[in-house]
Structure 1
Amino acid sequence: MKTNTEVVTAAVVGLSGWDALVERYSRLVWSVPRSFRLSHTDAADVYQCTWLSLAEHLHRLRDPEALAAWLVRTATRQSINVLRLRGREVPPDRWEPESTLPTPEDVAIGSDRARRLWAALTTLNERCQRLLRIAAHSPELSYAQVADALGMKVGSVGSTRSRCLAALRVKLEASR
């Protein structure tokens, strides 16, 4: 088996030495970005950048026997750069298209709806107001929890809620 010095010298001179370098250290270079838990695509980018960097600096390599450490150090720096850049990026699924931003008309209509809703809610009896407020602000509560909070029977929560919503609908229709 050839030494690193022989393989590096062959790589500087021609392609066959380069192939031997890639074959010898490919798994090592791949292991670095994967140890940073980069995605396959990002790991492939780090892998390619590491080999490109070696190709650019191969003729200046001082100690060919330390090539493994040089490759690990270079791949580590590339991996850290990828992580740093990914931390600054906003994933596309978090982008808000401009069309979802409310227009002044949307704000005005929403404010009017909210005002009418709260005005209609205050005309309901106290029991309905409390029940609908709990339903709106704490939808994760079970009927048992709502019944306990309002001093009601568990079996009456659903039907009372339905009656209160129907009464609220009537009052909202009348306020149009």
Structure 2
Amino acid sequence: MDTATLPAGYASLLAAEAAAYALPGTGIEAADLEQAVWLRLLERDGPPADPAGWTRAAVRAEALGPDVRTRRERPYADQDAGPPPRSPQGARDIEDQVIAADTRHAVLAAVRALPGRCPQLVRALLSGADPTYHEISRELGISQGSVGPLRSRCLGCLRSVLNSRVGSPVGRGNAR
């Protein structure tokens, strides 16, 4: 691409945009950003239709590129030691999955033991659909204003059912 087709003052626009993104402490230098954008510009088939807008977008992309990479990269504690040794995490993951499944099973059993409309309400709250109060009120056939108080009562009942089965932690500041 011939850079002579760019508007007058393009170099100063690029320098200003690069300086705006090369703030102290970011680890990005304005000259590096300018060079990367010039390279992008030269790799194009022709000049951009909107040089100012294209330059802003190109500088932003070049400035944020290292930031995205550094968020994904994790340094090793000791560069000479190589990657950290693998720990037997598979066993712990399976144990966590079993505990989570047992917990879900206990909660669902306690939900079935709740009185009145509480089982339907709590099941709706636990569903992955994340329904609104309006949707819950339509499903249960109650007014939308009574969903909140009913929810509060049902969760209190659920808490007491679960505490009676598991037991309340002792000495943790539970108020009665």
Report the TM range for the smaller structure's normalisation: 0.3 to 0.5
What TM-score, normalized to structure 1? 0.46
Higher relative contact order (CA 8 A, sep 6+): 1
What TM-score, normalized to structure 2? 0.46
- Bigger Cα Rg: 1
Larger relative helix fraction: 1
